[in-house]
Structure 1
Amino acid sequence: MRLATLRIRGETRAARLDGDEYVLLPFPDLGSLLAAGAQWQEVATQCEGERLPSMDALYAPVVPHPNKIICLGLNYAAHIAEMGRDAPQYPTLFAKYDGALIGAYDAIELPSVSTRVDWEAELAFVIGRAARHVSKDAALPHVAGYTVANDVTVRDYQRRTREFLSGKTFEATTPVGPVLVTADEFNGAEPDLEIRCEVDGEVMQRSRTSDLLFGVADIVAYVSEIITLLPGDLILTGTPGGVGDGRDPKVYLEEGQTLRTTIEGLGETSNVCAPATAT
């Protein structure tokens, strides 16, 4: 099943893809659907409502306001090598705030304070059942599904301190979507999918999600030792090699460029880079 959070008539609604139409569900977004109880999947499957042609869909972030956004760094061997780092013994965790999230086709707002904005294509997943002190073997049933993300990073701010946060959560920089593909599509296993990132049609990153050092089950088990994962929590699993900052010479995103992130079977995000808006 494919689920989305759509923008419609000045608000958002959870929706289920049915052929070439979306069925609007009685929830304001996917986070609310997932928080409604253990039977969320049955509810999403059986609910009927207003229909909208998929070609007219306007996508919000797949979960617009997660309780937590947890991200991993240094989780593909090629990316570790290009950044000159040692392989971590434990998952490298950092966080984002929901103000960083944008929809699958929204503009990325390039900050006025930096010219070192980089791409990081990532497999993301969303929690469907609360998880606390979950073993690796029991972790995957807590995953609602998978989606596409790009952890767009402001490199100079990332390196101002030893903590990553300031470079990772700039306003309106992190596309997530367009849909959540439910975990049952993968028969209870971790997905092994091609992941690719392009800038103006040039392939910058290409790998497979099975090359993660710490897989989805590892991540759920590890994070659940620290804090309870809640339905709707969004987790980004890390990026493969090929980022702009790891190149010689270094390359960064520029105004007017299109950043496209594709994961086999999950879809793509496509985002034009634009100047940040003033408020």
Structure 2
Amino acid sequence: MNKNKHSLIPNLKSIICIGLNYADHIAETSLATHDFPEIFMKTSNALASNHDTITIDDESLHYDYEGELVIIIGKSGKHITREHAKEHILGYTIGNDVSARNLQFRGSQWILGKSLD
């Protein structure tokens, strides 16, 4: 990957993700759901730009992919009300969330399997 050289977000601070938010995927994985969203992080090295090649270096890692809706937050804030949330959204795009499942579920935190180069 290109290490964000073409990124439209040059000062990317965080990639915050919500897991288990599609009923079909929850049923497919047989994972337990909770009353609170499954929140996990991805590191910026896992971000690729449009037309970048995602190289699979180790087939034994059991890679999987999911199409995702991506919301780009362009204005910081704290304790934002539902009525003002849209004021903080810069835009929307789509993403390809590539995961190494056997690393993802090795522990309770998903970051290892979700943040490969």
User: TM class by shorter-chain length?
Assistant: 0.7 to 0.9
How far apart are the structure 2 equivalents of 1:111 and 1:168?
A: 15
Aligned match of 2:72: 126
Give the Cα–Cα distance (whole angstroms) in 2 for the partners of residues 122 and 75 of structure 1. Answer: 10
Of residues 33, 37, 44, the one that matches 1:91 is 37
Displacement of 1:85 after TM fit? 2.2
TM-score by length of 1: 0.38
Trace 1:234-249 onto structure 2 (pairs within 5 A): none
What is the alpha-carbon distance in structure 2 between the residues aligned to residue 108 and residue 75 of structure 1? 24
* Matched residue SS, 1:121: strand
- Cα distance in 1, alignment partners of residues 66 and 18 from structure 2: 11
For the 8 Å contact 1:128–1:144, the answer to whether it is kept is yes
> Which runs of no fewer than 5 residues in structure 1 stay unpaired?
1-11, 13-59, 172-279
Runs of at least 5 residues in structure 2 that lack an aligned partner in the other structure: none
- Offset from partner CA, 1:146-192 (integer Å, 9 cap, x none): 01111100011001111101000001xxxxxxxxxxxxxxxxxxxxx
Preserved CA contact (<8 Å) 2:65 2:99: yes
Higher strand share: 1
Q: Are the aligned partners of 1:114 and 1:154 in contact in 2 as well (CA < 8 Å)?
A: no
Q: Secondary structure at the match of 2:68?
A: strand
Are 1:162 and 2:108 counterparts? yes
CA offset at residue 64 of structure 1?
4.6
Report if aligned partners of 1:70, 1:95 keep a CA contact under 8 Å in 2: yes
The 2-side partners of 1:68 and 1:170 are apart by 15
- 2:15 aligned with 1:69: yes
Cα displacement string for residues 40-87 of structure 1 (whole angstroms, at most 9, x for unaligned residues): xxxxxxxxxxxxxxxxxxxx2332541111111001111111111233
Alpha-carbon distance in structure 2 between the residues aligned to 1:165 and 1:127? 21
* Cα deviations by residue, 1:107-161 (Å, 9 ceiling, x for unpaired): 1021326341101110101112112001222211110100111110001100111
SS of residue in 2 equivalent to 1:139: helix
Contact 2:68 2:97 in 1 (8 A): yes
The amino acid that maps onto 2:12 is P
In structure 2, C-alpha distance between the alignment counterparts of 1:97 and 1:87, rounded to whole Å: 24
Distance 2:44 2:78 in 1: 23
- Kept in 1: contact 2:61–2:103 (CA 8 A): no
Identity of paired residues, percent?
Answer: 36
TM-score by length of 2: 0.87
Q: Where does residue 108 of structure 1 map in the other structure?
A: 54
Distance 1:150 1:88 in 2: 24
CA-atom RMSD in angstroms: 1.9
Hey, what's the Cα distance between the residues in 2 that align with 1:163 and 1:69? 15
Structure 2 partner of 1:146: 92
Q: 1:95 is paired with a residue of what secondary structure?
A: strand
